[in-house]
Amino acid sequence: MILQPILVSLKVTFVAVLLIVLVSIFLVRWLSERSFRGQKLLETLIMLPLVLPPTIVGYGLLLLLGRNGLLGKTWTSIFDTSFIFTWGAAVVAAFIVGLPLMYQSLKGSILAIDVRYIQAAQTLGLEENKIFWTIKLPLAKHGLISGIALSFARALGEFGATLMVAGNIPGKTQTVPIALYFAVEAGRVTEANALLAFMLLSSLGLIFLITSQRRVMS
Amino acid sequence: MLMVDLQKQLHLFRLECAFKVDKEVLAITGESGAGKSSLLKMVAGLMRPDSGQIALGSRILYDEKKSIDLRPQKRRVGFVFQDFALFPHLSVEDNLTLVQKKKNILEVHDWLDTFGVVALAKRYPHEISGGQKQRVALARALITNPDFLLLDEPFSSLDPETREKMYREFMNFRKQWSLGVILVTHNPIEAQLLADKVLELKDGHVIRERFNHLVGTIITMEEDANYRTLRIATLGTFLRVVKPEYFSLGRYQVGQRVELSIKPEHVLLAKQVGEGIFASNRLDGKVERIQYTKRSVKVSVRMQKDLLLSVCSSHMASKLDLKVDDKVSCLLAEDAIELMNSR
């Protein structure tokens, strides 16, 4: 009974974190090396889900991805089905709430790199693209790893926004936190305890990973 | 030939500097905060001057008027940082292969071998000593085949023993590669030892320029109770060098090549009219440049490959009525000639 939500949670979280890593690398590369009008606004938008209540994020996504939403309408016209209440919607919710943590962690690590390594690379004739992939990113490895751990934990624990855009469909969109909520509400104590144990163990593991990375860094 | 003429408003002062460097070593000295490192960064393209021009041979690296500002990647100027800036996540070998246009491990090993560090190829920067890091950093800069080399305090982080050793290696290196080098150092002895020319910077301005550096061969050495006297052949003539009795001749021998230096204020100028001058310690040449400053006149005299700088009062200069290309004689005070590193 608890296996289904765990599998859904892992599937949603893995896909979301993969997207988070790719998008964060792209954003950090793009935003840290040039400045343009509206850059601060874009960064604020990326960071916004960090401070907004998850239900607000969920409602915002619902407006955007719902049947009459800007993106939802387009999706429906192409695929002839609603995007809301699919596991893809759960991925989007997890992505939105996890992205700021990854972005912040990676950007912080990249900006903390001793500028002399970058300058040395420039005088040695390395182009910016090569500098990013062969020097900046490897030197920001610890930030990348703790960013993955943080965003994984955040995505795994996502509840409010996921419930609003993906609902509670067992085997499809019912993730561990949602299953836990409904198990407690229905008085299924054993199931709730098992889900609690899973969440606790996975979170502890992730926090251990983050702190050991911080130790390596210092 | 690197030509630099640039201006930049820094935090505490305005940096204004103009100089030329041929295939030689120019040392830039001065206290910390004098603008030395900023100057290097501007030559490398890591900092933008407010105005001026930087040219390397026929290539213009920076020209404010023509809006030219080549990126560091396009300047072909090698830069060795004070703490060497070896990429910490890459092995010694990979530090070099990364900067190659086309990966060629044999060439990398050749370079590491030249600097005696090929045995460390697989080690990481944190596993090797300061002197070894310096060699790797030099190899890494040279493998990119730069047209010019900038060294920012490359000896300052080394312990005294290693530093002495690296000085010797640096002098050998100079013989092997005919590359123009700017060496930034806060150590005046290091500058005198390693460089052909020395510029001293203070608050962003050149306060002293020393061109006077000659190479000669010892012909005779004599000593009496009061003086040590050496005759040194240089530039097709002989110079007499007189030193006080505490000067030890033990380090020198007849036939040995030595480097001589003399401060510009100890070089007297005489204008040649016909064959009219008979004097000892006389070197003949042509006036290449005359610079008028507030209190004095600096005259650069070209003799074959060497340039001798003389400083005289403006009164003296007007009396001599010097013009560029005039034939002049430089008279060197025999007790003011310094003998530098003996080899």
Please answer yes or no on whether A127 and B45 come within 8 Å at the CB atom.
Answer: no
DSSP B18-41: EEEE-SSEEEEE--TTSSHHHHHH
Query: Which residue does chain B place closest to A138, by CA atoms?
Result: B89
**CA distance linking residue B258 with residue B270, whole number of Å:** 26
**Looking at beta carbons, which residues of chain A come within 8 Å of B99?**
121, 124-126
Mean pLDDT of B289-318: 78
Helix%, strand%, coil% for chain B, nearest 5? 25, 40, 35
Identify the CATH homologous superfamily for domain A3-217: MetI-like (1.10.3720.10)
Confidence category of residue B342, pLDDT binned at 50, 70, 90: very low
Token code pair at residue B315: 């009164």
Distance of alpha carbon B2 from alpha carbon B182, whole angstroms: 10
pLDDT tens sequence across B261-288: 887 778 888 887 666 666 778 888 888 7
- Please report which confidence band the pLDDT of residue B343 belongs to, taking 50, 70 and 90 as the band edges: very low
Q: What is the pLDDT of residue B284?
A: 87
Check CB contact under 8 Å for A126 and B45: no
Angle at B319 between CA B318 and CA B320, to 5 degrees: 90
β-sheet with B227-234: strand ranges across? B237-244, B227-234, B213-223, B257-261, B338-342
| pLDDT for B12 | 87
Q: How far apart are the first and last CA of chain A?
A: 43
**pTM over 0.80, yes/no:** no
> Which of B40, B73, B81, B136 is the best residue to mutate to test the A interface, defined by the most A CB atoms within 10 Å of its own CB?
B73
Residues of B whose CB is below 8 A from A123: 44-46, 72-73, 75, 77-79, 141
Domain boundaries, chain A: 3-217
pLDDT tens track for A40-67 = 899 999 999 999 999 999 999 999 988 8
Which residues, at least 6 apart from A43, have a Cβ–Cβ distance to it below 8 Å?
A31
pLDDT tens for residues B164-212?
A: 788 878 877 777 777 899 999 987 777 767 777 788 888 888 776 655 7
Smallest Cα distance from B139 to chain A, Å: 11
User: Tokens 């910016």, residue?
Assistant: A128
Question: B65-86 pLDDT, tens per residue?
Answer: 999 999 999 999 999 998 899 9
The CA distance from B141 to the nearest CA of chain A, in Å, is 7
What's the angle, vertex CA A114, arms to CA B130 and CA A145, rounded to 5? Answer: 110
Gap between the Cα atoms of A60 and B32, Å rounded: 56
- The residues that bridge with B329 in the sheet, in sequence order, are B270, B284
Cβ separation of A121 and B87 shorter than 8 Å?
A: yes
Q: Is the pLDDT reported for residue B341 higher than 60? A: no
Provide the phi-psi class of B25: left if phi over 0, else alpha when psi is between -120 and 50, else beta.
beta
Q: Do B46 and A117 touch (CB under 8 A)?
A: no
**pLDDT for the residue numbered B293:** 66
What's the average model confidence in pLDDT over B78-101?
A: 94
pLDDT by residue for chain A (218 residues), tens only, comes to 788 899 999 999 999 999 999 999 999 998 887 788 888 899 999 999 999 999 999 999 999 988 888 888 888 888 888 888 888 999 999 999 999 999 999 999 999 999 999 999 999 999 999 999 999 999 999 999 999 999 999 999 899 999 999 988 888 899 999 999 999 999 999 999 999 999 999 889 888 887 887 666 55
> What are the residues facing B78 on neighbouring strands?
B149
Q: Which residues contact A53 (CB under 8 A, 6 or more apart)?
A: A160
A122 vs B contacts (CB less than 8 Å): 45-46, 71-73
Mutate to test the interface with B, among A117, A124, A130, A141 (most CBs of B within 10 A): A124
Q: What is the largest CA-CA distance in chain B?
A: 69
Asked if the Cβ–Cβ distance from B140 to A134 is below 8 Å, we say: no
